[in-house]
Amino acid sequence: MIIHTTFDEVSLTGYKTVRCTGCGRRLKRQRKFWQTRNPYNKNSEGYPKSAYEIREELSQDIRVWEKESETCSKCEQIGVEDE
Ligand SMILES: [Zn+2]
């Protein structure tokens, strides 16, 4: 996990290696999760979220994403043809 912080954007990058749901090939995936710090991005108490709060939320999102199964592009194409 790499943490990037700029003035108004807080982002975390998630990495995972999962098996393709179709062919079982190992897939490496990377995704950037981010939120902008601004007066409208508020927490449950109605205050603008701090960078720390945003990072907490982003790491939750990454944990969910890490558990999601993935399908490689070849198997996705086969899936589309089947429909
Ligand atoms: Zn596949």
Over residues 53-62, mean pLDDT: 97
Tell me the CA–centroid distance for residue 13 and ligand 1, in Å.
24
Could you tell me what percent of the chain has a pLDDT over 70?
A: 88
From ligand 1's centre to the CA of 20, what distance in Å? 5
Q: pLDDT class for 59, splitting at 50, 70, 90?
A: very high
- pLDDT confidence bin for 39, thresholds 50/70/90: confident
Question: How far apart are the CA of 36 and the centre of ligand 1, in A?
Answer: 35
pLDDT band at 14 (very low <50, low <70, confident <90, very high): very high
What residues have CB less than 8 Å from 40, skipping those under 6 apart? 48
Q: Which residue range(s) make up the domain with 41?
A: 2-82
Count of domains observed in the chain:
1
b/e string for 13-38 if b means 16 or more Cβ within 10 A?
Answer: ebeeebebeeeeeebeeeeebebebe
Q: Name the band, by pLDDT with cuts 50, 70 and 90, for residue 7.
A: low
